[in-house]
Amino acid sequence: MSDIVPSELSGDDLIVDAVGLSKTYGQFQALKPCSFSIPPGRVVGIFGPNGAGKTTLLNALLGLHDYDGQLKLLGRDPYKHRAKLMEHVSFISDVATLPRWMSVSDILRYVSDVHPRFDEAAALERLQRHTRITPGMKIMNLSKGMVVQLHLSLVLAIDSRLLVLDEPTLGLDVLHRRSLYDALIEEFFDNNRSIIVTTHHIDEIEQILTHVMFLRDGEIILDTAIEDLAGRFMILEASPANAEAAQALGPIASRTGIGRSNYIYDGVDRSALAPLGDVRRATLTELFIAQLGHPAESAEAASGATQT
């Protein structure tokens, strides 16, 4: 597994530092022992099929359940110091519904009361500038998109070091999804902060990621910088005549189409592939399906991509 920590950073500078982190529920190991680090200035996408262990990993990071192994969030054990750490960590989860019995002004006041790093005026100003939400509105009367916008405005008005988003765009239309990700980069992200995000809309988030993690069956099977992906994973579109030669180069996944077949390679030099057909960089979605997809599912899901 690659370490994404620049060597000049000490442990205390890391946002996240996990060594042998794992989580077991009874006999079921939801998260197998893993080690990784996230320094400031990263936007890390964590991807995996349902049940891969993404939420278990995020919940461990957020101190929402205990775990085995060592885990430091901003230098502290998140399970023991959750409340203190939440001064510097924000998160939005699809299942974290805002309290419907509050009005917008109620929730602004509540966060202002309990969060020392929350700027109520900034949140209000953002709501007025970017949304049609007014302080007098009841949360129960807001649409799903408006609730997300409200939650986002609350979170962006908190001066935190880490923002964790667990499927934040579920149920949102493409415009809301796009505006959410744009806001993250424009209004939150800088070199002193990091973002961790999980989503099933991989293609929509690829452009803002600096790093990516793939989980399968509770195990991190890929942890790398986005820029390293471009030179590492290649797609070859080859005619049937070159199929044998393409297979000989050891693709990690392939999909047979009409007249042409797609092959995805890990670490094979572009110059070796070029004589066999059209070569291009694999998208994150293609890589996701190649690495994590199951044959029966990926045949439908790939739609022009690759299949294991």
Partner 1 sequence: MKTMVGLIRAEILQHRGSLLITPLVIAGLIAAFVLAQLFFSTSGVNIEFGSFDVRLDGRRIIDPDAFESVGQTVGAAFGIFGVPIFFVANVLAFFVMLSALYEERAERTVLFFKSMPVSDTQAVLAKYVTASFIGPFIAIAVMMGLTIVLSLSTAIVFTVRGVPQVWGFLLELPLLRLFTSLAGYYSLYALWVAPIFAYLLMMSALAPRSPFLFALLPVAVAVIAEAILFGSDFVASEIGNRGLAIYLAEAIETSRSLLGARAETGFDAYFMRFTDILATLAVPAFWIGLGCAALFLTVAIWSRSRKTL
Phi, psi of 162 (to 5 degrees): -135, 135
Q: How far is the CB of 297 from partner 1 (least distance, A)?
A: 27
26 binds partner 1 (CB under 8 A): no
CA–CA distances in Å: residue 147 to residues 90, 119, 122, 123, 189:
16, 19, 17, 14, 21
CA dihedral in degrees (19, 23, 24, 28; nearest 10)? -100
Structure tokens at 276: 């066999």
Piece of the chain touching partner 1 by CB under 8 A; list 27-35, 99-107, 206-214, 268-276: 99-107
Task: State which of residues 42, 54, 115, 126 lies at the interface with partner 1 (CB under 8 A).
Answer: 115
Of 38-46, 89-97, 128-136, 219-227, which segment contacts partner 1 by CB under 8 A?
A: 89-97
Residue 84 binds to partner 1 (criterion: CB under 8 A)? yes
- Please pick, from the candidates 68, 106, 119, 297, the single residue that binds partner 1 as defined by CB under 8 A: 106
Residues 6+ apart with CB under 8 A from 274: none
Q: Which of 3, 113, 182, 203 binds partner 1 (CB under 8 A)?
A: 113
Q: Are strands 89-93 and 162-166 parallel, antiparallel or unpaired?
A: parallel
Q: Which helix (H) or strand (E) holds 269?
A: none
CB of 172 to partner 1, least distance (A): 17
Using CB under 8 A, which of 8, 10, 101, 296 touches partner 1?
Answer: 101
Four-point Cα dihedral 106, 92, 15, 7, nearest 10: -150
Region of 90-98, 224-232, 263-271, 296-304 interacting with partner 1 (CB under 8 A): 90-98
Q: Closest approach of Cβ 49 to partner 1, in Å? A: 20
Q: Is 97 in the site for partner 1 (CB under 8 A)?
A: yes
Residue 285 binds partner 1, judged by CB under 8 A: no
In 3D space, the residue among 243, 261, 265 whose CA is nearest the CA of residue 304 turns out to be 261
Q: Which is nearer to partner 1, 92 or 146 (CB)?
A: 92
Size of the site for partner 1 (CB under 8 A): 33
- Find the part of the chain contacting partner 1 (CB under 8 A) among 109-117, 203-211, 233-241, 276-284: 109-117
256 is an interface residue for partner 1 by CB under 8 A? no
Q: Which of 15, 37, 47, 90 binds partner 1 (CB under 8 A)?
A: 90
Cα–Cα–Cα angle for 60, 66, 70, rounded to 5 degrees: 70
Q: Nearest 5°: phi and psi at 79? A: -70, -35
Helix (H, G, I), strand (E, B) or coil at 90: strand
Long-range contacts of 300-304 (CB under 8 A, 24+ apart): 302/255
Mark the segment that binds partner 1 (CB under 8 A) among 98-106, 192-200, 211-219, 262-270.
98-106
Binding region for partner 1 (CB under 8 A): 59, 62, 64-66, 82-87, 90-93, 95-102, 106, 109-116, 151
